[in-house]
Amino acid sequence: MSSSKNSLLRYKTIDNCLRNRNRKWTLQDLMKACEQALYEYGMSGIGMASRRTIQMDLQFMRSEAGYSAPIIVVERKYYTYEDPEYSITKAPISKDDVRQLSEAVGLLKQMTGFSTMEGMEDIVSRLEDHVASMRTHQKPVIYFERNDRLAGLQFIPTIHQAILDKKVLKICYKSFRAFEPHTYFFSPYILKEFRNRWFLFGRHSKAKMLVAFALDRMLSVEVSETEKFHADPSFDPELYFENIVGVTKSDTPIQLVRFWASADEAPYIQTKPIHKSQELVQQNEDGSAVFQVRVIVNNELIRDLMGYAEGVCVLSPRSLVRIIQKKYVLGLNRYQKSAGE
């Protein structure tokens, strides 16, 4: 259990002791009570209820940052509450607590506005009402990237519940390349968000391997009560996404992708890696740098690298260099045609 939970257990134990007016509590008594409580929860250890620790707990409980508890010392040795009715469980929420709750409410409102999870709006509203009378209304200071007009978000509650219940989904789906929509019976495993788009991973009867459906290409989603759910015990999301950028995965091997970055782009790439495997291979005197990542090459990686335009140049593997060269040539030809050259 974390140290913060240890502290909370000690505060609660001290509170129970000081509320008991039938006996007098010395610092030694409080130490023993806390040691016993920690022992019962399997958290006993050196220093967890030492004299200094309990003294600091008492000081914190008295402070405004803590509970503003009216702890007094009588006869120069016994600790008690000046108010016999006081308890930290009855303590009002501090101004700092209200501020943090207000910020949390703002973040939750943004998240629920994006994901449209059923039930969350009601929870957030009740929490907001609870602190509204004590807080100062202000604009949020943290904003998430969101797109409320993105298609398919309304299907998330149904999909999410089907994953939890291991239910098959009947999905009407039309990919960008298809002329007509198709209906699939889909065993859903996980939802994944990437670049403000949502994807559902699972299996359907027409595919032998794991597939991903974009929610914005779904036309309808409903739970099937007749089809059997097909689980895949070998599917581990952490391992599946470990060596890819984004959501597209193929059977091609993992490759060492090495690329040069200009002096303007290198600091951004250094602080926001393209992939978690990214390593700095060479730092040049002019500020440019060479990086490498170990990944399966996919469209998302190519788009990321090309997104830096002339600021990034792929050095290897040669197969990826040729792919990007071809795309730049085609792009240049289109620009030249549009310019009338």
Domain segments of the chain as ranges: 3-90, 92-146, 153-240, 255-338
d(CA 168, CA 184): 10
Specify which residues 185 forms β-bridges with. Answer: 170
Alpha carbons 3 and 113: distance in angstroms, whole number: 34
pLDDT tens track, the chain, 341 positions: 445 678 888 999 999 999 999 999 999 999 999 988 888 877 666 567 788 999 999 999 998 777 889 999 999 999 999 999 898 887 665 556 656 666 666 655 555 444 444 444 444 555 555 555 444 445 555 555 666 667 778 888 888 889 988 999 999 988 888 888 988 999 999 988 888 788 999 988 777 678 889 998 999 999 998 888 988 888 888 888 889 998 888 888 999 999 999 999 999 999 999 999 999 999 999 999 999 999 999 999 999 999 999 999 999 999 999 999 999 999 888 888 877 65
Q: Which residue has the tokens 């559902």?
A: 200
Instruction: Report the C-alpha gap between 83 and 143 in whole angstroms.
Output: 43
**Residue 334 is encoded by which pair of tokens?**
């289109």
Q: Assess contact for 47 and 53: CB atoms under 8 A.
A: yes
318: exposed, middle or buried (Cβ count in 10 Å: 0-12, 13-18, 19+): exposed
Which CATH class for the 255-338 domain? alpha beta
- What CATH number matches the domain at 153-240, 3.30.2010, 2.30.30, 3.30.70, 2.60.40? 2.30.30
pLDDT for the residue numbered 321? 95
Cα distances (angstroms) measured from residue 43 to each of 34, 53, 208, 212, 322: 11, 15, 49, 45, 60
Give the pLDDT score at 210.
86
Whole-number pLDDT of residue 325? 93
Domain 3-90: CATH architecture, name and number where available: Orthogonal Bundle (1.10)
Quote the pLDDT of residue 142: 56
> 255 to each of 43, 105, 251, 258, 295, how far by Cα in Å?
47, 44, 12, 9, 5
